[in-house]
Amino acid sequence: MLKTVSLATLVAALTTTSALAQTEISWWHGMGGRNGEVINEISMKFNEAQQACHLTPLSKGTYEEALASGIAAFRSGEQPNILQVFDAGAATIMAAKGATIAAEDLIVQAGKPFNREDFIAGVRNFYADADGKFVGMPFNSSAPIMYINTEALEAAGVEAPTTWEEFEAVAPKLKEAGYIPLTASQLTWMFMENFKSRNNQQFATNNNGYDGIEGTEIIVNDDNTVMMFDKLKEWADADLFGFYGAGWADNQKPFEEGKVAFWIGSSGSFGGLQKTATMPFSAEFLPYWASLGEGTQSFIGGAALFAMAGKPAEENACTAEFFSFLTSPEIQVYWHENTGYVPITTAAYEMAKAEGWYDEKPVAEVGIQQLMLPGGEWTKGYRLGFFPQIRSIEEREFNRIFSGEVSPKDALDTIQVEANALLAKFAKTAN
Amino acid sequence: MTASPVVPSPFLRLRQWWTRPSAHPAKVAQFDRPLAPWLFVAPQLLIVAIFFYWPSVQAVTSSFYLEDPFGFGAAFVGLDNYREALSSTEYRNIAGFTALFAATVTALSLGLGLLLAVKADAVMRGAGAYKTALISVYAIAPPVVGLIGMMMFDMHIGPFTKAAALFGWEMRVGIDYRDTAVALITVAVWKQIPYNFIFFLSGLQAVPSSVREAALIDARSGWRRFRDVTLPLLAPTGFFLLVINITYALFDTFGIIDVMVKDKPANNPITLVYKVYLDGFKGNDIGGSSAQSVILMVVVAALTVAQFRLIERRVHYG
C-alpha cells in the first residue's frame, strides 16, 4: 500500500517537473454549476491538444466578483492572463486602455488566422471598438428568449405570440385556463436593453455610447419605453404578468413548476431548464411590438474574454493560442451543446446543424436564430460606463413600479437622471 | 509631585469585570528593560497597523479622488464625493433605514436575550438542554442564517409568508420594502439573541446568592427585585452588550442582508455598509465608496464616544 502511494507521489512529481517546461497561463471566470464544469473540461481539452501551454481556469464567483477580483489583481500587478467580463462590465474594462490587449491584435500578432466575418452578426460588435476591431473575445453569448409551457397553450387553446399585441390577445385566455400568462427574469436585460434592440430603439446618445464617453446620455424615459412599462404594470395589475422581485430564480421557478405559460429567460437557461422543468416546453423569440416595427435582432448577453496587459510575450502567445482554440468549431459546438449558450461562429452553427442537434432539441436553435435576425441602426450593442450601477438603479425603480410606489413614467425619469449622473461621472473618471 | 491615580479605561474596567471573580488584586508586572514591553506588543501593533490604520488612511485619501477603477489615473476632486453622497436622497434613505435597523435589532435582541436569560436562570430541571438549544443558534454563520431566513420568507414556499397570509397579510419579501425590512430585522434579531443570552445568563449567575436572599427579605414582588437589585447588577453586562449589538447591527449583518436580497437589492432596504460594498465592489466607484466608508467611520466613532460619555457614567461596576 505504502509503496503504491510513494510510487504515485513519484509519478506526480515527475509529471510536475515535465509540466514546468510549459508556459503557465491563468483564466479567471465568473461561472458556477454545470457551466463552470464545462469551462474546466474545455481547459483540459486545450491542455491535452498541445504541449507548449498549460491553462488553469479559476472561478471567482459571480460575474461582478470576477470583474472586481480582476481589477484588484491588476492594480497590484497580479492579474490573470485571461479575464471573463460580462456584458454590463464591458465599458469599464474597455475604457481602461492599458489594461488589456485587443484580442484581435493578440491573435494576429501570434500569426494565427483571424476573420471577423467568421463570427455571427450579433456578436461581432458588442465587444469591438468603434472601428470594429475585437477588443474582447466573445465567449459565452446568449439571447433573451421566450420559453413556452406547451401544456398551457393546449389548455387555453392558443398559439404562442410573436408580438406583444398578440400576447395581449391570448393572455386573458391563459389566465382563464388557470395559468399566470407571463413572468420574466432580469427585467433590465429583457425589457430595457432588449426592448431597445428588438424594436430598434436608440438606447443612448453618441451612437449608443460607441462614439465616445464624453457627453453620452442614456435614453430611457421616451414615450415608447414608458409605453412598454405602462403595459407591464397594466398586465401585472390584471394578473397577466407575475413579478417576483429582482432575483433571477424567483421568476423562473413558477415556470419550472408549470404554473406559468411564458417565461422570458436566457437562451443559456436551456441546459438547466431541461433538468428542472416539470412540464414539456418549447421556445420562441422574445416578442416585439408590431406597432414599432418588424422585430430586429437582440443584443447579445453573456460575457467575453479579455487578455490582460502586462504579461510576458510567451504567455500572450499561449493566450492567443487558446483564443483560437476556443473559436474552433469543435469546441464551440461542445460548449453550445453542453451549456445552451449560442455558438459564436457560423462554422460552429453549421456543424451543430449538420450533426442534427437542432432536430433533436429545437429550443437550442432559438437563441442563435434571434441573434441572426436582420439588424437595425440600434441593434449592435451599447457602450455605457458604470453600467452595473445603472442596472442596480433600474432594478430599484422597477421594483417600485410593481410595489405600486411610483408610476412607470416617474420611475423611468428617475433612472434617466441618476444614470446620466453616473455616465457623466464615468466620463470624468476615464479621463 | 504626586502621581495621579491611573484611571482605567472603560473597556479595561469591563474586562476586569469580565474576568471576575478575582479574589486577589491584579499583579503589576515590572519590566527591567524599557524596550521589552514594546517587543511584546509589537506583533499586535503591526497587525493593527496593517489591517486597520493603513486601509483607513487609504480610504481617506481615495475619498478625495475620482479614480479610474484600474488605477490608471486619479483626479483630485476635493469634497465632491462627500457632497454627492450626502446630498443623494437614496443615500439618506439608506442612512435612515440603517438607524432604524440598528435601533430595532439592538433593542429586540437585547430585550429578548435578557428575558430568555432570566427565565433560563430560574429553570432547575433540564436547564442544560434548554440552554444548549438557545445558544446553538449562535454557531450558525451569518450567510447560512440569511439562507434560512430567505427560505422562511420565500414568496412561494416560505412558512412565515404562509403564516402571515393566515392573518390576511400578503408578504412580498423582495418586492415590498416594508415586508423585506420586517424579514431582515426578524432574522438579524434571531441570530443575535443567543449571544446576548449567554452574557446575560452568566451575568445573572454572578449575582451573589447572599444579595438575592437579602433582596428576598426586602421585597416580595419578583419584578421589584429584578428592577432594583438584579438589573443594576447586570448593567455592566448590558452596557457591554449594547456596544457589541450596535456594532453587530451596523456591520456583521452584511452576510444576512447579502443573502436575503439575493445579491440584487433593487428597492429593498439595505444598510450603509452594504451600500459601500455595492458602489465599491460591484459598481467599481472607488472614490465614492471610500467617501461613504469614511462617513460611516466618523459616525461610528461619534456613536461610541456618545455611548461612553452618556450611558457608561450611569453604569455601576460592582
Q: What is the ipTM score, two decimals? A: 0.83
Report the C-alpha gap between A302 and B307 in whole angstroms: 50
pLDDT for B31 = 67
Contact yes or no for B105/B249 (Cβ under 8 A)? yes
* A289: its cell numbers: 411590438
* A248: its cell numbers: 433571477
Instruction: Give the contacts of B293 (CB within 8 A, at least 6 positions apart).
Output: B59, B63, B276, B280
Residue in the block written with cell 439608506: B94
Residue A47 pLDDT > 70, yes or no? yes
pLDDT-derived band at A431 (thresholds 50, 70, 90) equals low
- What 3-state DSSP class applies to A347? helix
First-to-final CA distance of chain A:
64
* B9: its cell numbers: 479605561
Instruction: For A285-337, give the DSSP string.
Output: EPPB-TTT-S--PPPPEEEEEEEESS--HHHHHHHHHHHHHHHSHHHHHHHHH
* A421: its cell numbers: 449622473
Are residues A232 and A326 part of one domain?
no
Are residues A269 and A175 part of one domain?
yes
Are residues A181 and A44 part of one domain?
no
Provide mean pLDDT across the span A288-297.
Answer: 96
Instruction: Kindly identify which residue of chain B lies nearest to residue A406, measuring between CA atoms.
Output: B267
Residue A376 lies in a domain: no
Q: How far is CA B299 from CA A366, B99, B250, in A?
A: 54, 11, 11
DSSP state of B53: I
Q: What is the pLDDT of residues B106-125, one digit of tens each?
A: 999 999 999 999 988 887 67
**Shortest alpha-carbon distance between residue B103 and chain A (Å):** 25
Decide the pairing of beta strands B65-67 and A137-142. Answer: unpaired
Are residues A191 and A64 part of one domain?
no
Pick from B129, B113, B125: which is nearest to B240 by CA? B113
pLDDT for B8 = 44
Contact yes or no for A270/A364 (Cβ under 8 A)? yes
Number of domains into which chain A is organized:
2
Q: In residues, how long is chain B?
A: 318
Choose among A99, A245, A431: nearest Cβ to B266: A245
Residue A373 lies in a domain: no
Residue in the block written with cell 429584578: B226
Are residues A339 and A246 part of one domain?
no
Q: How far is CA A368 from CA A144, A265, A299, B64, in A?
A: 10, 14, 11, 47
Q: Among residues A363, A398, A416, which one ends one of the domains?
A: A363
Boundaries of domain holding A120? 23-142+300-363
Are residues A318 and A282 part of one domain?
no
Choose among B66, B174, B266: nearest Cβ to A428: B66
pLDDT for A78 = 95
Contact A392 B282 (CB under 8 A): yes
Cα A92 to chain centroid, rounded: 16
Read off φ and ψ for residue A32, nearest 5 degrees.
-130, -170
**Shortest alpha-carbon distance between residue B128 and chain A (Å):** 41
Choose among B90, B172, B284: nearest Cβ to A71: B284
Q: Is A400 on the interface with B (CB under 8 A)?
A: yes
Residue A14 lies in a domain: no
Residues of chain A contacting B267 with CB distance shorter than 8 Å: 395-397, 399-400, 403, 405
pLDDT-derived band at A247 (thresholds 50, 70, 90) equals confident
Are residues A287 and A173 part of one domain?
yes
Strands, DSSP E only, in chain B?
65-67, 74-76
| CATH number of the domain to which A41 belongs | 3.40.190.10
Residue A101 pLDDT > 90, yes or no? yes
Provide mean pLDDT across the span A377-391.
Answer: 92
DSSP state of A178: T
* A305: its cell numbers: 474574454
Partner residues linked to A85 by β-bridges? A304
Are residues A318 and A344 part of one domain?
yes
Decide the pairing of beta strands A260-266 and A144-149. Answer: antiparallel
pLDDT for B12 = 53
Burial (CB count within 10 angstroms: exposed 0-12, middle 13-18, buried 19+), residue B2: exposed
Contact A399 B267 (CB under 8 A): yes
**Shortest alpha-carbon distance between residue A399 and chain B (Å):** 6
Residue A181 lies in a domain: yes
Contact yes or no for A366/A148 (Cβ under 8 A)? no
Supply the Cα-derived Rg of chain A in whole angstroms: 23
Residue A11 lies in a domain: no
**Side chain identity at residue A31, one-letter code:** M
What does pLDDT average to over chain B?
86
Neighbours of B196 (CB within 10 A): 28
Query: Could you give all domains of chain B from N- to C-terminal order, each with its CATH number?
Result: 82-314 (1.10.3720.10)
Are residues A260 and A153 part of one domain?
yes
Decide the pairing of beta strands A301-308 and A100-101. Answer: antiparallel
Contact B75 A431 (CB under 8 A): yes
Provide mean pLDDT across the span A149-160.
Answer: 96
Q: Is A245 on the interface with B (CB under 8 A)?
A: yes
Pick from B126, B118, B316, B110: which is nearest to B204 by CA? B118
Residue A198 lies in a domain: yes
pLDDT for B74 = 86
pLDDT for B5 = 43
Q: What is the pLDDT of residues A306-326, one digit of tens each?
A: 999 999 999 999 999 999 999
Report the C-alpha gap between A332 and A357 in whole angstroms: 13
Contact yes or no for A27/A308 (Cβ under 8 A)? no
Contact B155 A244 (CB under 8 A): yes
Read off φ and ψ for residue A219, nearest 5 degrees.
-125, 100
Are residues A179 and A193 part of one domain?
yes
Instruction: Give the contacts of A343 (CB within 8 A, at least 6 positions apart).
Output: A120, A329, A332, A333, A335, A336, A349, A351, A352, A368
pLDDT for A1 = 43
Choose among B68, B265, B267: nearest Cβ to A400: B267
Provide mean pLDDT across the span A346-362.
Answer: 94
Order of strands, sheet of A144-149, starting from the edge strand that comes earlier in the sequence: A241-242, A180-184, A260-266, A144-149, A281-285
Neighbours of A25 (CB within 10 A): 24
Residue A378 lies in a domain: no
pLDDT for A179 = 97
Pick from B133, B103, B136, B113: which is nearest to B237 by CA? B113
* B243: its cell numbers: 456596544
Low-confidence ranges of chain B (pLDDT < 50): 1-9, 18, 22-23
Contact yes or no for A102/A327 (Cβ under 8 A)? no
Q: Report how many Cβ contacts below 8 Å link chain A to chain B.
A: 108
For testing the chain B interface, which of A62, A65, A192, A399 should be mutated: the one with the most B CBs within 10 Å?
A399
Instruction: Kindly identify which residue of chain B lies nearest to residue A71, measuring between CA atoms.
Output: B70
Are residues A422 and A327 part of one domain?
no
pLDDT-derived band at A209 (thresholds 50, 70, 90) equals very high
Choose among A93, A243, A249: nearest Cβ to B175: A243
Q: Among residues A308, A329, A363, which one ends one of the domains?
A: A363
Are residues A239 and A92 part of one domain?
no
Provide mean pLDDT across the span A238-254.
Answer: 93
Decide the pairing of beta strands A23-29 and A53-59. Answer: parallel
Q: Among residues A328, A363, A398, which one ends one of the domains?
A: A363
